């Protein structure tokens, strides 16, 4: 297998994992994925954007379901500053590289 010709993809929670994996590979000096395909990725547990407040009470994936999904991943740390400094949700990255 040619490691320089790998793509990465994910949907919803898997999209967040795919994005985080691409960042981790880059940070460790590995070959960058040839492409990323992220479909409705979960990238930010804080739910602060306007759009995260617009879709509520519709009976399918909405704000409350998204909060519940992040709580399943991060537990009590959801939406707080107490997330891993080396593997935060992708949207929390504050620099080009994690240390």
Q: Are 99 and 86 in contact (CB under 8 A)?
A: yes
- The residue that leads in pLDDT, 98 or 48, is 48
**38 pLDDT higher than 80:** yes
Share of the chain above pLDDT 90, in %: 46
What pLDDT is stored for residue 31 in this prediction?
A: 83
What pLDDT is stored for residue 97 in this prediction?
A: 54
**66 pLDDT higher than 60:** yes
What pLDDT is stored for residue 98 in this prediction?
A: 47
Instruction: Show the beta-strand stretches assigned E in the chain.
Output: 7-11, 35-39
User: Would you tell me how many other CB atoms lie within 10 Å of the CB of residue 11?
Assistant: 14
What pLDDT is stored for residue 96 in this prediction?
A: 58
Q: What is the mean pLDDT of residues 6-26?
A: 91
Q: What is the mean pLDDT of residues 8-31?
A: 90
The set of residues, in sequence order, having a beta carbon less than 8 Å from that of 95 and lying 6+ positions away, is none
DSSP state of 6: -
User: Would you tell me how many other CB atoms lie within 10 Å of the CB of residue 90?
Assistant: 20
Distances (CA, A) of 73 to 1, 14, 42, 54: 32, 12, 11, 23
What pLDDT is stored for residue 95 in this prediction?
A: 64
């Amino acid at each position: 297998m040619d490691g320089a010709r790998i793509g990465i993809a994910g949907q919803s929670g898997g999209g967040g994992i795919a994005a985080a994996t691409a960042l981790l590979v880059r940070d460790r000096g590995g070959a960058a994925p040839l492409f990323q395909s992220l479909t409705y990725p979960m990238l930010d547990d804080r739910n602060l954007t306007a759009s995260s407040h617009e879709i509520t009470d519709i009976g399918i994936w909405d704000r409350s379901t998204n909060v519940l999904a992040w709580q399943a991943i991060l537990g009590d740390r959801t939406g707080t500053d107490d997330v891993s400094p080396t593997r935060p949700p992708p949207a929390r990255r504050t620099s080009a590289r994690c240390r």
